[in-house]
Structure 1
């Protein structure tokens, strides 16, 4: 159902019809274009899943790529795919903690985090590590789920909003959410420059329906059955994400900056 890319797809308004995998590739391309990235020599994919973004970007720019994930199964699958696709000489994946990365300072000129920030329990440390391993002049890109920005005079989300997020967090094993404004403050505290943000919630919303429809295929039913209850539970929570989107609570946000 998700293919090599364990992230949502990009569906511009009034755009052509596309399948899940095409939309996921488009997401990578559109994010790079939005962030103004036209080249890279060394990149790191933080929260790499099975390495779809790393391999795509390595092919696109001819760069080397490292990927880190907490899952030994994901890392093994990512390395196997890199070998199959002829990229093992410059693309590799390993088990590592995004909050304590095993790389020297200033190791990469492109820092990529696609839908992994929401899994980080300490957002300040997360961004701090991204900034630490980024080389001067390098670009940091985070694409992540956030809750809405608080309005002037608000100190917290409304009780019904917090209750909905709690249900989503329980199903997806997520820590506490933050807002895009929270990320901006953290980026500013790290001294990052040329900070830019975006809300692409509308552009990803069609993906939920596409994935749910694919789950009702023979392969979808078989895969969910083999994966077990924890995966099925995650699939069943997709309507809660859609509900959060419909009330303006759940946001698909981007933030990018350059390291001085």
Structure 2
């Protein structure tokens, strides 16, 4: 259903704050999200320094993997828990003539089936929020990164706690619980928590940013697409779970507007 309406990039778009957004801009904004993430992480434009091996952790149907493999001429492997996503991702890679460069497999991001130090670029686009053990998730990203390799995490977070705060406010906890129940998500963490975890692993050049303003048009656009005839018939055809998810979309918008939900990018480099 998502692919039919939005294409093969199962993540937010990155929008220009100073221009109006047309329907045709949304898929372009999803590509811009990938480009802006690479730029933020200082992935070199020098072709002699391009990553040669990439892992896409929580790959969905492989949109990022295929884009990165084509951009850098690299080999890429995507992992997801979903056999359905793996089957579709491999079919799309074959259809696009990329089967020799890109592959997908069912694997657990918390126990990745790769040796230490294998990948020049470790990519996680909106999968961190699905991880029940954030420490283990970050540890695995660091483990499979090659010396000098780049790690890029783009994920949903809750706001950083202020001085003297030990937890979110009750209303904030309640709103997040409703979202997590709708999207089958475990507990969230803050951007500051991710930075702390990366620091504990002695990773270098750690940077983070709140990109919430740049993704603000995304959820209203998803809601509008769900309310089209095509979207409504797809929802009804696919059963109760997608409908439950669609009904929770306004909660995401509320979370952003109240500065509870943050769309975060966190990047770093593994020491040589």
Same fold per TM (> 0.5)? yes
Return the alpha-carbon distance in structure 2 between the equivalents of residues 200 and 101 of structure 1: 28
Structure 2 gaps, min length 5: 45-49
1:5 aligns with 2:16: no
SS of 1:105's partner is coil
1:163-203 superposed Cα distances (whole Å, 9 cap, x missing partner): 00000000011101100000000000111100000100011
Deviation at 1:205, TM superposition (A): 1.1
**In 2, Cα distance between the equivalents of 1:12 and 1:174?**
29
2:208 aligned to which of 197, 204, 209? 197
TM-score scaled to structure 2, two decimals?
Answer: 0.94
Q: Check if 1:132 corresponds to 2:143.
A: yes
Structure 1: distance between partners of 2:20 and 2:62: 27
Give the match for residue 47 of structure 2: none
Contact kept, 8 Å, 1:20 with 1:211, in 2: the verdict is no
Could you tell me which of 31, 35, 40 is aligned with 2:41?
35
Query: What do the CA deviations read for 1:224-259 (whole angstroms, capped 9, x no partner)?
Result: 122211111111111001101111100000000000
1:10-159 map, 5 Å: 10-15=14-19, 17=21, 18-38=24-44, 39-159=50-170
TM-score, reference length from structure 1: 0.98
Q: Shift in Å at residue 211 of structure 1?
A: 1.4
Aligned length: 260
Kindly report the root-mean-square deviation, in angstroms, between the aligned alpha carbons of the 2 structures. Answer: 0.9
CA distance in 1, matches of 2:70, 2:238: 31
Partner Cα distance (1:146, 1:15) in 2: 26
Deviation at residue 12 of structure 1 after TM alignment: 2.2
